[in-house]
Amino acid sequence: MLSTLKQLISLVTFCRKVGIAYRVYAFSDNWGRCPDIDNNDPDKIWIHGDFSFLTLLTSDSNNSQHDIQCRNLFRICAKFRGSGVNDTWYHFPRKMNLGGTPLNETILGMFQLAPQFRKESKCEKVHVINLTDGEACPLYCTRKVTYNNGEEHVLRRPLDYNCFLRDRKTGKNYRFTHNVWDQTSIYVENFRDRFPEYEMISIRLISSRDWSRYRSAHIPMSKNEEADREWKKFKSYINLYTTYTASYILKFESLDSESEFEVSEDATKTQIRNAFKKSLSGKKANKKILSSFIEHIA
């Protein structure tokens, strides 16, 4: 988490310096019950009541607020690692304990949050970037059943090949499969069909030992040798075989090297952009990814 946060703060710092609006959310199934979710309605996807969005950072904050927020996040992530900062130990809210990976719920939430952000920020171009270190927890659907005594109940059931997702606005249907890990691809495809003007980018952090499992699940077998060579050389991989606009796989062990991103107060946008690129391009893992990433957000 600490290595990931360093990358996040670097991206956010760049956005602040060049005036790009942003909003950073954490997704959690450990924060507490969400009273606005109604799971008693049949024929809908079932979302666990503990799912929550937490707004961590936003371009609406002033510099002083931003510094305090980043400092607190750094302390929390250092605590996740099981250590203090400069020999100082910190506590964090129990609700921020790590739990599951409600990525699917997050993607569905973006159907409302992304257009809302675009309207509030008046941005012409919007990018939704998912940063995660694991596969999403599968979702379920609900159905109403009537027991012999006449009582009606709403039960949840797995989303399998007998289930379809129908978007009533676009009229498109998406069929689920036996593989619960395919759900994420369906939700991403649905989002991009509904909002073709938005980019949805995935940044997936994995360890060396998890690479083989990820490759088997998400990369065609005919491309395995090529993917292995690229992963070994760059400690990263650009997966072209997903429904995301772009999907970047990064070896998280290679993220934890320090890099400076400092510019003078009167620096131009071009100088800031060049300094940012220089700070990210010092590692093999970033060299390959950076050019592709800039292609999409430029």
What are the pLDDT digits (tens) for 243-297? 999 999 988 777 665 556 666 777 787 777 777 666 655 555 555 666 777 777 7
In this model, does residue 34 exceed pLDDT 80?
A: no
pLDDT score of 53: 86
Reported pTM: 0.82
What residues contact 144, with CB distance under 8 A and at least 6 apart? Answer: 42, 152, 153, 154, 155
Which stretches of the chain are DSSP H helices? Answer: 2-18, 63-80, 103-121, 183-194, 211-218, 224-234, 269-280, 284-297
